[in-house]
Structure 1
Amino acid sequence: MLRTASRLAARTTLVQRRRASRVVKVKALPFDLNTEALLRNAFSEQDISPTNIELRQRSSGRFNGAASLTFDDVDEATKAFRRLRHDGVEIGNRKVEVAWGTTPFEPEPEPTREELEEDPLKVLTRVLDERRLPTLDQIRAEMLQNDQHDIVREARFPGLIMGEDEVDEEPPQPKKKKVVDPSEPLGKWAETIVKINRVQKVVRGGTIMRYRALVVVGNLMGAGGFAYGKGHSPRDAVARASKAAKRDLRFVERFRDTSLLHDVRGKHNNCIVDIYAKPPGSGIVGGPLGRRILTQLGFSSFTIKARGRRTPYSYCAAAFDALSKHRSVEEIARSRGRRILEIEHAAARHARSPFKA
């Protein structure tokens, strides 16, 4: 509402200033030395007598094809403007354009220190008392008089004109969804960078060099995974590999949170990995990569042995293939029709579990 009132007040002030002007602009004049004489002859035929005719010039001093007509009275200027607008003027077989000009006015004096320190409410009250601002009736009358053409056109063609206050608002921006890592509820993660190497892709224009990283992750509670990741830098490759490994997790049920319940074997290509179950507290026996993989999953008592072509990826794939074959106490008891306590006691009595998957 305040914005509408301010727009109406500004528009009314502009219209009042134009109507109070004694200057009429004439554009599109021919570039002739006798332009002023031609103007006076044309105006005399239409009974228009301006007191002064000023030819506009550019900064270079050349005539720019426009002139300002100054009249003694506002009524004379309005009468001349309407006549020129209705009948038209041709100078040198060329129809000129007519527009309102602005009357030079004196700049307002700068406010004093007392006026600047005055309360804004008092300033507004004083301005209203002095009737500097137009009333609502004046604004309504000016708007109806100046927008009569738009009102008629809106009545004939409804919906064709959209006012300033009817502009559609910007659509609400969609709220950004909070991306939650699905692996966060599984606790903190331990990561091991198994290998980083540089790879090249041959294209028509040459080769594209990137980095490839193999990463193994685990949460020390039986969940883990491994994956490859590529990037333009080693850090980018490691980050992508870690994210891919967390999207492809494998869960292994631990026996008393430390060891395996039975021996397992996994294979990938020509690499064979055997993981032997040991009672809790027996310690770790195996190579560095196998120890690291099982430790990150939360195992602290086991023996791991690998045979064949032990490349890093084949070793990791064979180790997780072996862990995927591990069965929990509940699964073994259900398959054999035994009690869970019997299976647990039997597994704890033996150095190596006699149960096989």
Structure 2
Amino acid sequence: MKIYWKKLDDEYVPNFIDKNTRKNIAADIEITNLSNGKTTLYEKIIKLTKVCRIVKGGRKYRYWALVVVGDMCGSVGFGVAKANEVQDAVIKSGRCAKNNMVKVPLGRNKELISNISGRYNSTKILMWNNRDGVGIRASNAVRSIFDALGIRNASAKIIGSRNPHNVIKATFAALKQLSIRFRLWKRCS
């Protein structure tokens, strides 16, 4: 396997070239159906914070939760919610994440089908595949998304703000671009 660096939007990203390159990548992609609620979903709390509002009588505290949910077979979603109790905030954000799940096309070995990048506000994220056995090299927020998707070997580089909310939105923007690319490949082949 040969590695070379490709310039992508003023940043250098590694591109991997395998000797046995596939001509039609769309033939190697499998899509699994979204579970109908019978299988258990992977759920991870990314950020849980205590927020305060000042009122006439004093301070009112609430809890803010950011949760990622996935079926480990190509579907993932995230949710944000506030509540007066921690457990309520986590349950509400988990329910929001299940309602907003996105289907992502993966390769045969549960890998990304191409190098992708996404942007949200001042955060830019670049994602690419690793060879087998390397594992996930990414921040905690991106790692939890990869785990929820079922991806075992991938890397990600964050450029700009590392706020978990912005990182997750940039990652989902990149994953949506990947779905659009897959649809175009299927239409052309």
Q: TM-score range by the shorter chain?
A: 0.7 to 0.9
Q: Could you tell me which residue of structure 1 aligns to residue 150 of structure 2?
A: 298
Alpha carbons of structure 1 residues 183 and 203: separation in structure 2 relative to 1, 3 Å: farther
Normalising by structure 1, we get a TM-score of 0.40
2:101 maps to 1:249: yes
Partner Cα separation in structure 2 for residue 265 and residue 187 of structure 1:
31
Partner Cα separation in structure 2 for residue 216 and residue 248 of structure 1:
10
Encode CA deviations 1:33-88: one digit per residue, 9 max, x unaligned.
Answer: xxxxxxxxxxxxxxxxxxxxxxxxxxxxxxxxxxxxxxxxxxxxxxxxxxxxxxxx
Alpha carbons of structure 1 residues 236 and 272: separation in structure 2 relative to 1, 3 Å: same
Partner Cα separation in structure 2 for residue 209 and residue 292 of structure 1:
28
Determine if contact 1:258/1:280 at 8 Å carries over to the other structure. Answer: no
Greater share of helix:
1
Determine if contact 1:259/1:280 at 8 Å carries over to the other structure. Answer: no
Paired AA for residue 150 in structure 2: G
2:67 maps to 1:215: yes
Determine if contact 2:35/2:71 at 8 Å carries over to the other structure. Answer: no
Paired AA for residue 124 in structure 2: I
Paired AA for residue 41 in structure 2: W
Alpha carbons of structure 1 residues 183 and 248: separation in structure 2 relative to 1, 3 Å: farther
Determine if contact 1:256/1:280 at 8 Å carries over to the other structure. Answer: no
Alpha carbons of structure 1 residues 258 and 186: separation in structure 2 relative to 1, 3 Å: farther
Q: Could you tell me which residue of structure 2 aligns to residue 283 of structure 1?
A: 135
Alpha carbons of structure 1 residues 266 and 330: separation in structure 2 relative to 1, 3 Å: closer
SS of the residue corresponding to residue 73 of structure 2 reads coil
Q: Could you tell me which residue of structure 1 aligns to residue 9 of structure 2?
A: none
Cα RMSD for the two superposed structures: 2.3
Determine if contact 2:138/2:156 at 8 Å carries over to the other structure. Answer: yes
Note the C-alpha offset of 1:215: 0.7
SS of the residue corresponding to residue 299 of structure 1 reads coil
Determine if contact 1:275/1:304 at 8 Å carries over to the other structure. Answer: yes
Q: How many residues align?
A: 155
Alpha carbons of structure 1 residues 330 and 317: separation in structure 2 relative to 1, 3 Å: closer
User: Unaligned regions of 5+ residues in structure 2, if any?
Assistant: 1-33
Alignment of 1:146-225 (within 5 A): 184-185=36-37, 187-225=39-77
Paired AA for residue 115 in structure 2: D
Determine if contact 2:119/2:125 at 8 Å carries over to the other structure. Answer: yes
Determine if contact 1:275/1:303 at 8 Å carries over to the other structure. Answer: yes
Partner Cα separation in structure 1 for residue 71 and residue 97 of structure 2:
12
Paired AA for residue 318 in structure 1: A
Note the C-alpha offset of 1:283: 3.4
Determine if contact 1:183/1:246 at 8 Å carries over to the other structure. Answer: no
* Higher gyration radius (CA): 1
Alignment of 1:323-334 (within 5 A): 323-327=175-179, 331-334=184-187
Partner Cα separation in structure 1 for residue 52 and residue 134 of structure 2:
46
Paired AA for residue 142 in structure 2: G
Note the C-alpha offset of 1:333: 4.3
- Tell me whether 196-205 or 246-255 shows the greater mean CA deviation: 196-205
SS of the residue corresponding to residue 325 of structure 1 reads helix
SS of the residue corresponding to residue 142 of structure 2 reads helix
Greater share of strand:
2
Note the C-alpha offset of 1:334: 2.5
Q: Could you tell me which residue of structure 1 aligns to residue 114 of structure 2?
A: 262
Note the C-alpha offset of 1:287: 2.5
Partner Cα separation in structure 2 for residue 218 and residue 279 of structure 1:
23
Partner Cα separation in structure 2 for residue 323 and residue 228 of structure 1:
19
Give the structure, 1 or 2, with the largest relative contact order (CA under 8 Å, sep 6 or more): 2
SS of the residue corresponding to residue 229 of structure 1 reads strand
Encode CA deviations 1:97-132: one digit per residue, 9 max, x unaligned.
Answer: xxxxxxxxxxxxxxxxxxxxxxxxxxxxxxxxxxxx
Determine if contact 1:186/1:219 at 8 Å carries over to the other structure. Answer: no
Encode CA deviations 1:12-52: one digit per residue, 9 max, x unaligned.
Answer: xxxxxxxxxxxxxxxxxxxxxxxxxxxxxxxxxxxxxxxxx
Partner Cα separation in structure 2 for residue 184 and residue 225 of structure 1:
15
Alignment of 1:119-130 (within 5 A): none
Partner Cα separation in structure 2 for residue 245 and residue 274 of structure 1:
23
